[in-house]
Amino acid sequence: MTRLSRRNFLKLTGSGAAVGTLSLSPMARAQQSQNGATAGSTTLPYPREAVAKLGDVAVNEPVYFNYPDSRSPCIMIRKGREVKGGVGPDKDVVAYSTQCTHMGCPVGYDKEEETFKCPCHYSIFDPDNAGQMVIGHATESLPQIILEYDEAEDALLAVSVDGLIYGRQANII
């Protein structure tokens, strides 16, 4: 029985890893070109999607939508006062992912307290302060959906996400 030295083992496995990496490279490039990313880019392009007409959005009434894909539930709120990250003429409209950053439970908007609450482990998030976690088990803010306001169309558009949606390695899948 021949024994393989540690040095020779590392030489063999190091070579195998390099070959494996080289063989995956064309697949990675093909996947990258399919989703519209450019070589060397650290972020993927987000879709621009209309969410609602500003004139149709009532103050403190949640508007539900999905972004950046159909598996990503979100809520948009018109606060009626300027808030951090708000858009529109009064900078009062914000939107967030409704998946709690602790374990992905669906958060709901409490209209009386004007906060997002997680029913699973009782985390509370502040929509007036960029979705910041106020109390509970969550350790991160809710991912904020970046909105733009098109004055000519009176349209609110979702254009990207600030933060990582729970359970994902990347927001664009």
Question: Catalytic residue among 74, 99, 102, 157, which?
Answer: 102
Nearest to 128 by CA among 96, 171, 104: 96
Sign of CA dihedral 134, 135, 139, 144: negative
**Is 137 designated active site?**
no
Q: How far apart are CA 35 and CA 143, in angstroms?
A: 22
Length of the chain: 173
Q: How far apart are CA 163 and CA 46, in angstroms?
A: 13
Task: Find out whether 76 and 147 touch, Cβ atoms under 8 Å.
Answer: yes
Nearest to 142 by CA among 133, 153, 150: 133
Question: Catalytic residue among 81, 121, 122, 150, which?
Answer: 121
Q: Count other C-beta atoms under 10 Å from residue 47's C-beta.
A: 13
- Catalytic positions: 102, 121
